[in-house]
């Protein structure tokens, strides 16, 4: 066989392998969240006149995995609809290396070889073909109102945005209130091949919603401080559900 024919045969084989890799069916998916190891609290306070204080940011480390569990449950709910015949494995990890690396695992893989090998091992133990990894996403604050957005500074991951003095109007019953509390989920979702960690789909979401308040005298921080732990988890989970609805269909279609 001539050198030209050998080269052509090798090229065809390479193309064939590439096509198979791109169209490999999603048989089973592990869902892992790295977004829930902290909860951010952003507070916006207005002073007299037009001046506004800078937004204090408190990032509270989360020792348990309640928010990671909320993230993977939100993803699971939608994945069951989008991939009804696929086996799902919900995963959590306490590995600080994976949490610390987050997006760097995929944006700068050469700097995180050990962490990537560890993640590959975790996925291999699950016997899955693919993985959905949920991580934090940082972007300019854009809290959604009915027909506009408000916000100052940058938000990342999961948390609550509080504006202690803004006046809002509930158009359903024409009630006004002072102060705003908005749970938010600023997250990135990647679809990976489990054995290689190659990214085959990716998307981001900036989701939030305004909590209703019954009293016109209630300030944002007053509302936040009166929230129970269960209420906070429930509200963050709702924001995550909105995020998964915004991201996952497009990620799976890539």
Cβ atoms of residues 53 and 47 within 8 Å: yes
| pLDDT (0 to 100) of residue 59 | 92
Residues of the chain with confidence (pLDDT) below 50: 1-21, 50-51
- Of 234, 213, 207, residue with least CA distance to 163: 213
Q: Are 243 and 251 in contact (CB under 8 A)?
A: no
Q: Is 9 inside a domain boundary?
A: no
Residue 81 lies in a domain: yes
Report CA-CA distances (Å) from 59 to 19, 53, 65: 44, 18, 15
Whether 12 maps to a domain, the answer reads no
CA 14 from chain center: how many Å? 35
Q: Work out the angle between the directed axes of helices 66-82 and 229-253 (0-180°, nearest 10).
A: 40
CA distance 57 to 154: 10
Taking the C-alpha atoms of residue 208 and residue 160, their distance in angstroms, rounded to an integer, is: 9
Task: Count the neighbouring beta carbons within 10 Å of the beta carbon of residue 138.
Answer: 12
Residue 56 has what pLDDT? 67
Query: Would residue 200 count as lying in a domain?
Result: yes
**Closest alpha carbon to 94 in 30, 158, 156, 36:** 36
Residue 145, Cβ density class (10 Å: 0-12 exposed, 13-18 middle, ≥19 buried)? middle
Contacts of 117 (CB under 8 A, 6+ apart): none
Q: Are 134 and 71 in contact (CB under 8 A)?
A: yes
Residue 209 and residue 69: Cα distance in Å, rounded? 20
Q: Is residue 5 part of a domain?
A: no
DSSP 104: H
**Host domain of residue 75:** 26-253
Tell me, yes or no, whether 220 lies in a domain: yes
Residue 90 lies in a domain: yes
**What is the domain count for the chain?**
1
- 151 phi-psi bin (left φ>0, alpha ψ -120 to 50, beta other): left
Per-residue pLDDT at 16: 36
Question: Is 19 a domain residue?
Answer: no
pTM confidence score: 0.84
Q: What is the pLDDT of residue 164?
A: 78
């Amino acid at each position: 066989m001539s050198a030209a024919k050998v080269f052509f045969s090798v090229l065809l084989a390479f193309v064939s392998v590439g096509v198979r890799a791109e169209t490999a069916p999603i048989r089973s998916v592990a869902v892992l969240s790295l977004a829930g190891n902290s909860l951010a609290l952003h507070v916006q306070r207005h002073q007299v006149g037009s001046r506004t204080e800078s937004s204090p940011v408190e990032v509270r480390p989360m020792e348990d995995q309640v928010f990671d569990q909320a993230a993977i449950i939100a993803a699971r709910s939608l994945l069951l609809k989008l991939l009804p015949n696929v086996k799902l494995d919900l995963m959590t990890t306490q590995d600080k290396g994976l949490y610390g690396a987050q997006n760097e695992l995929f944006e700068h893989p050469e700097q995180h070889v050990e962490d990537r090998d560890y993640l590959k091992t975790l996925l291999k133990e699950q016997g899955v073909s693919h993985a959905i990894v949920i991580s934090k996403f940082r972007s300019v604050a854009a809290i959604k109102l009915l027909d506009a957005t408000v916000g100052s500074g940058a938000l990342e991951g999961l948390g609550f945005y509080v504006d202690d003095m803004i006046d809002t109007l509930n158009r359903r019953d024409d009630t006004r209130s002072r102060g705003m509390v908005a749970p938010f989920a600023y997250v990135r979702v990647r679809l990976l091949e489990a054995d290689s960690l190659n990214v085959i789909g990716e998307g981001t979401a900036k989701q939030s919603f305004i909590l209703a308040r019954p009293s016109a005298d209630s300030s944002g921080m007053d509302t936040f401080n009166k929230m129970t732990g269960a209420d906070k988890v429930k509200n963050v989970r709702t924001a995550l559900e909105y995020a998964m609805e915004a991201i996952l269909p497009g990620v799976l279609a890539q």
